[in-house]
Amino acid sequence: MAFSARVESSAISNINVTPLVDVLLVLLIIFMITAPVITHKTRIDLPQGSNKPIADRADTIRLAIHADGALYWNDTPVDEPQLKTQLAIAAQQNLQPRLSIDAADGAAYQAVAHVLSEAKAQGLSRIDFAASH
């Protein structure tokens, strides 16, 4: 039994482009269908700005919480009942002031959470946290 090994020295260099053409035709059809949707114009009514300066700017209240738990309302020491009163007064103003809470690095989390919950309970909505230096 003789076997003959047929060895070809040249590689097949033909590329089958039929699948490529099929994919391109499908993509062309998809783009043709979606193109009118993309170019559809939608009318949007945006609010117009004004050049008038804002006359009423709300004040910023600085509430400092020290490491020992002491509270300072604009650098004036306050206790719990005074803090509740000040927060209630600030919440009832026409243009609510911005409350900036400045907690010291060693301040207890519970003290900060209590002040924050009290401010929210009184109705203050503009509350920020200031970075301690």
Q: Kindly report, residue by residue over 73-102, the tens digit of the pLDDT.
A: 998 999 999 999 999 998 888 888 899 999
Q: pLDDT per residue over 12-44, tens digit each?
A: 778 888 999 999 999 999 998 888 777 667 788
Q: So what CATH class is 60-129?
A: alpha beta
Average pLDDT across the chain, whole number: 84
DSSP 104: -
Give the pLDDT score at 113.
92
**Closest to 122 (Cα-Cα) out of 98, 93, 77, 92:** 92
Show me where the domains of the chain are located: 60-129
E strand residue ranges, the chain:
60-65, 71-73, 76-78, 98-103, 127-129
According to DSSP, the residues that pair with 71 across neighbouring strands are 65, 78
Give the pLDDT score at 77.
93
> From the centroid of its chain, how far is CA 20?
44
pTM of the predicted structure, to 2 decimals? 0.55
Give the whole-angstrom CA distance, residue 77 versus residue 71. Answer: 6
Tokens found for residue 99 = 């409350």
